[in-house]
Structure 1
Amino acid sequence: MNENLQNIKLVITDVDGVLTDGLLHYDANGEALKSFHVRDGLGIRMLMEQGIQVAVLSGRDSPILRKRIQDLGIRLFILGQLEKESACLKLMEQAGVNPQQTAYIGDDSVDLPAFALCGVTFTVADAADYVKHCADYVLELRGGRGAFREMSDMILTAQGKTDVYSSAQGFLKTVRNMAQ
């Protein structure tokens, strides 16, 4: 299956349950806090620096999420849309790729239409079993705990780009404008 990862040019990621642990923290004004893992942010930047586009697709929208997207320099995103199949098609069109060149990472039933569309699919270790059965890859790490980075390392490895994360020289040579 790793040969499928060699052709990936776009990674579309869900947010809650993938980039976060899925917990929502509210105060009287609404959503007040989300926790993101810095390793996931670095994995996003490494993919982008290696020419693999990263898009964010979330059923929720919040100033917190928009700030994280901005901090990481992500240009492709659709927020506040639960219907993920058509959103994935829009993101693929914007990125200039086809479904076989697209990987999707999600964690729940709402992600299954995207799983059916995208060429390669990933889910986190703490996803429900019925989601795991639909994914091509089940990651060892939980959502919000480095799962995106685990996936990004797999893609970079399949594409022969391990230097970007496994050596100081490779990291310094290939990663510019770094954000976590």
Structure 2
Amino acid sequence: MDSTERFKANLLNVKAFAFDVDGVCTNNQVLISESGQLLRPANTRDGYAISQANRHGFPVAIITGGRTQSVATRFEMLGCKHIYLGVADKVVALRDFCQKVAIAPEAVLYMGDDMPDYHAMQAVGFPTCPCDAAPEIQRISRYISGFRGGEGCVRDVVEQVLKLHNHWHPGESAHQ
């Protein structure tokens, strides 16, 4: 079995996803409106993939140190039920998620991009990152997406997992 086949075989073991927000689900930029509101650009293709994961029974956790309510609203709209805002210790949030969905950490694909994700990534079976992640994060990742944070890296990993489970179909709406 070559490395690509091993990689695909490992993806078959993924039963849930956990994502950081800034630098993974967004491009690491925060815009500030005239009223002082923080705005984070989000990729709609990444959003589609998250909605499909939720739709097909793959629980998705959003784990972020940020506290912006708009982040929770965005992911609630995509069907996420496990949204952790203002997290100081991402391992604690990850364990809570795994307990709530009754899935072992070894079956979780976690995508992070920077040092606050380091220990949570070490606690899962499939740590991944976008191609513009910090070097320390790239070193502990089992897969480095060819896409940057907020520019398709989430779609990349979710699509691969769902395709292997025969849950990725052309023309499928996010609202079916």
Q: TM-score, normalised by structure 1?
A: 0.88
- Give the SS at the match of 1:52: coil
Give the match for residue 63 of structure 1: 69
Q: Which range is displaced more, 116-125 or 25-34? A: 25-34
Give the match for residue 177 of structure 1: 175
CA offsets 1:94-137 (integer angstroms, 9 cap, x no match): 11100111110000011010111011011001112221111000
- Give the SS at the match of 2:158: helix
CA offsets 1:55-108 (integer angstroms, 9 cap, x no match): 100001112112202211211111101211111001111111001111100000
How far the C-alpha of 1:177 sits from its partner, in A, is 2.3
Return the letter of the residue paired with 2:72: R
Inter-partner Cα distance in structure 2 for 1:74 and 1:50? 12
Q: Report % sequence identity.
A: 26
Calculate the aligned-residue CA RMSD, in Å: 1.6
- Give the SS at the match of 1:55: strand
For these two proteins, the number of residue pairs brought into alignment is 170
Gaps spanning 5+ residues in structure 1: where? none
Residues 1:10 and 2:16 are matched in the alignment:
yes
Residues 1:98 and 2:96 are matched in the alignment:
no
How far the C-alpha of 1:29 sits from its partner, in A, is 5.0
Residues 1:40 and 2:46 are matched in the alignment:
yes
Inter-partner Cα distance in structure 2 for 1:177 and 1:28? 34
Q: Which range is displaced more, 69-78 or 103-112? A: 69-78
Inter-partner Cα distance in structure 2 for 1:29 and 1:93? 39
Give the match for residue 83 of structure 2: 77
Return the letter of the residue paired with 2:175: N
Residues 1:142 and 2:148 are matched in the alignment:
yes
Inter-partner Cα distance in structure 1 for 2:152 and 2:43? 6
- Give the SS at the match of 1:148: helix
Is the 1:124–1:139 Cα contact (8 Å) retained in structure 2?
A: yes
Inter-partner Cα distance in structure 2 for 1:34 and 1:18? 11
How far the C-alpha of 1:27 sits from its partner, in A, is 4.2
Gaps spanning 5+ residues in structure 2: where? 1-6
Is the 1:24–1:31 Cα contact (8 Å) retained in structure 2?
A: no
How far the C-alpha of 1:32 sits from its partner, in A, is 2.6
Give the match for residue 108 of structure 1: 114
